[in-house]
Amino acid sequence: MTHADWNAHYAADDLPWDTGEPDEHLVAMAITGALPAGRALEIGCGTGTNALWLAAHGHDVVAIDVAPRAIERARAKATAAAATRCRFEVLDFLAAEPPSPPFDLVFDRGCFHVFDEPADRARFAARVAAALAPGGAWLSLLGSTEGPPRDVGPPRRSARDILDAIEPVLELRLLRAVDFRVQGDRRARAWLCLAARRDVDAQPSTRR
């Protein structure tokens, strides 16, 4: 999808991915202490529900999206909620650095998975790594190649697609098969991926 296409979805209120509620997996990870505290970046924040939830639960948040109409809506929600710890900016994450790095937590729900080209996913992962503070981690929720055939729903990425993109720059900590809630009660198979900034390069694979 082009940037204009994303914006058109927000202008037309055609948002099958927007549940209007904080993502259950993000909430579970955060409240069990599995995520680093501190400064957070959300990439592809849409209308801002998850960014505002993170801000209300102790993070100082910068949230970006390539679609100006999404950011307008997110800012309106922030004003209505009198949220002070959440800043929303229009930004193409593949093209520009997010404001005020580094971040302890980088989060995306359904943004990494929108890129069809392996080179774009690798660039996304490299930009995540560059944005992370020491000890920082990236949490991503993305559509999976598991589950039955379907004509609609999130893009499908395999575990190998994920690792091809992230392994050179991030250390995988968790890859769990979960469900992804889309509008209404519909669900699709998904991956929950947690990866940390690398302190040392991955070592060569050992042969027997």
Binding site for ligand SAM (CB under 6 A): 6, 17-18, 43-46, 64-67, 70, 92-94, 109-111, 114
Smallest separation, CB 17 to ligand SAM (Å): 4
Strands, E assignment, 59-111 = 60-65, 86-90, 103-109
| Signed CA dihedral, 7, 158, 170, 34: sign only | positive
- Which is nearer to ligand SAM, 117 or 201 (by Cβ)? 117
- Closest CB to ligand SAM among 122 and 200? 122
Q: How far is the CB of 96 from ligand SAM (least distance, A)?
A: 9
- How many other CB atoms sit within 10 Å of the CB of residue 82? 6
Of 47, 61, 165, the C-alpha closest to 107 is 61
CB of 164 to ligand SAM, least distance (A): 19
Closer residue to ligand SAM, CB minimum distance, 20 or 134: 20
Min CB(15)–ligand SAM separation in Å: 7
Tokens 């949230």 map to which residue?
63
What is the nearest approach in angstroms of ligand SAM to the Cβ of residue 201? 27
The nearest distance, CB 4 to ligand SAM, in angstroms, is 10
Q: Which is nearer to ligand SAM, 80 or 200 (CB)?
A: 80
Answer yes or no: are the C-beta atoms of 193 and 142 closer than 8 Å.
yes
Nearer to ligand SAM, 121 or 203 (CB): 121
Nearest to ligand SAM of 70, 170 (CB atom): 70
Numbers of helices and strands, H then E, in the chain: 6, 7
Residue nearest to ligand SAM (CB): 44
Cα distance between residue 79 and residue 73, in whole Å: 10
In terms of DSSP bridges, do strands 86-90 and 103-109 run parallel, antiparallel, or are they unpaired? unpaired
User: Residue 163 in contact with residue 195, Cβ under 8 Å?
Assistant: no
